Amino acid sequence: MADRDTEHWLRLHGLPYFVRPDARARHLLPRTAPFLVFAVAIDVLSSLVLEVDIDPDTASASEWGFALVALALVVAVPVVPSLLALATARVLRSRTGAKTPVALVALGLYLVVDPLWFGLVAHENTLASVAQNTAVVIAALAATWLGVGALLSWALRAALHQFGALGQLATRALPLLMLVVVFAYFARALWEVTGSMSASRLLGVAVFFLVLGLLFTVPIMRRELSALDGGDEPQGPPLGRLERFNLGVVMVLAQAFQVAIFAALVCVFLVVLGRLAFSDEVLNLWLGANAGNAEVLGIELPVRTGMLKTAVFLSCVSALNFLVSVSTAAAYRASFYDPLLDQARAALAVRAAYRAGR
């Protein structure tokens, strides 16, 4: 395997720090091009969605029809740019000669077309938009060189590949968890507390649960990785601090994405349950001055802000409970940790050959 193919394999598997430092800047702009395409697409779509004026009180469609339209618009904003970015990355991988032209086109779209679009649609200062986008490009190039994109994309793919294991474990953990969560969901006192929370305070609560989850997960991952030190696999030169950190981060991120997917499913479940179970009179009584509808990208959704805040709070509690429950189960090791450790052993073997070739 040629050095460049090996380096691409290591980045694809979330191990950018296994690549030699002198090779980390190779093809930096083409590797950043998918993000630039994503940024252009999300800017254009979000500006179009903000121009859409849909009021659930005056909409001619039914309430559920409006909910579907609003949900489709909100979901399209991150989904469509993500698909375009994936398509760009696939083109860059399959057609070597297209790397530079595609990267230059993406750069031109973001630095020229995107500011002109916002100048026409949102009447923003074009020069200020160019300066802002230039700063974003510089930051994106730096993040690509640091390997942030490789880490996040691999961890997300790993979590999605393990979705079957997540479903299996969720079916074991959900019955008791849902009993506790649903019971708390129908408690008025919880709605009064979460409904009065500001967005920043709710974000602080979510970060608090995230820190608790990391404090629980990181020691487990360290123990799992320590099992690799005494293996018979050809590991090559001893791992450096950045390489060992890289190997641990990809495993923590893979589990974090799985837990985030679980939390999102719980949040959606609670919102749907709330829409079905609570009448407007009850919500007005429980939420009081905080009984307004939630807004996303300027679109008013037929979901009370207090209901969404309560669902987010309980999904954070559920995610931490789920993490603790499944991390101590033997089945979780077989379906999650073991495949990750096998991939880590394969990465160490590739690294050994890569370093030996130098």
Domain-wise residue ranges, the chain = 25-146, 154-358
Give the residue, 122 or 242, on which the prediction is more confident.
242
pTM exceeding 0.85: no
For residue 233, name the pLDDT band (cuts at 50, 70, 90).
Answer: low
Residue 235: what are its φ and ψ, rounded to 5°? -95, -10
- Three-class SS of residue 105? helix
Residue 205 has a pLDDT of 93
Question: Mean of the per-residue pLDDT values for the chain?
Answer: 80
Residue 298 has a pLDDT of 64
Alpha carbon of 352 to those of 97, 231, 242: distances in Å?
Answer: 30, 14, 16
Give the residue, 193 or 296, on which the prediction is more confident.
193
Task: Please compute Rg for the chain using Cα positions.
Answer: 23
Residue 247 has a pLDDT of 86
Q: Measured between alpha carbons, how far is 263 from 79 in angstroms, rounded to an integer?
A: 19
Residues 220-229: what's their mean pLDDT? 75
Residue 141 has a pLDDT of 92
For residue 250, name the pLDDT band (cuts at 50, 70, 90).
Answer: confident
Residues 91-115: what's their mean pLDDT? 86
Residue 309 has a pLDDT of 92
Cβ pair 34, 43 in contact under 8 A:
no
Helices (H), the chain: 3-12, 28-51, 63-94, 99-108, 114-121, 126-146, 148-161, 163-185, 188-195, 199-226, 241-277, 280-287, 305-327, 330-332, 338-356
Residue 134 has a pLDDT of 92
Give the residue, 335 or 302, on which the prediction is more confident.
302
The b/e string for 130-161 (b: 16+ C-beta within 10 A; e otherwise) is beebeebbeebbebbbebebbbebbbbebbee
Residues 66-85: what's their mean pLDDT? 76
Give the residue, 336 or 206, on which the prediction is more confident.
206
Cβ pair 129, 118 in contact under 8 A:
yes
Give the residue, 309 or 234, on which the prediction is more confident.
309
Q: Distance between alpha carbon 245 and the CA centroid of its chain, in Å?
A: 20
The candidate with the shortest Cα–Cα distance to 262, out of 304, 195, 213, is 213
Residue 61 has a pLDDT of 46
Residues 296-325: what's their mean pLDDT? 84
Alpha carbon of 298 to those of 48, 69, 120, 136: distances in Å?
Answer: 11, 14, 19, 24
Question: Does the pLDDT at position 252 exceed 50?
Answer: yes
DSSP summary character for residue 294: E
Residue 212 has a pLDDT of 92
Question: Does the pLDDT at position 160 exceed 60?
Answer: yes
Residues 214-219: what's their mean pLDDT? 88
Question: Does the pLDDT at position 170 exceed 50?
Answer: yes
Residue 230 has a pLDDT of 56
Residue 357 has a pLDDT of 66
Give the residue, 159 or 249, on which the prediction is more confident.
249
For residue 328, name the pLDDT band (cuts at 50, 70, 90).
Answer: confident
Alpha carbon of 330 to those of 71, 168, 222, 270, 353: distances in Å?
Answer: 38, 13, 17, 29, 33
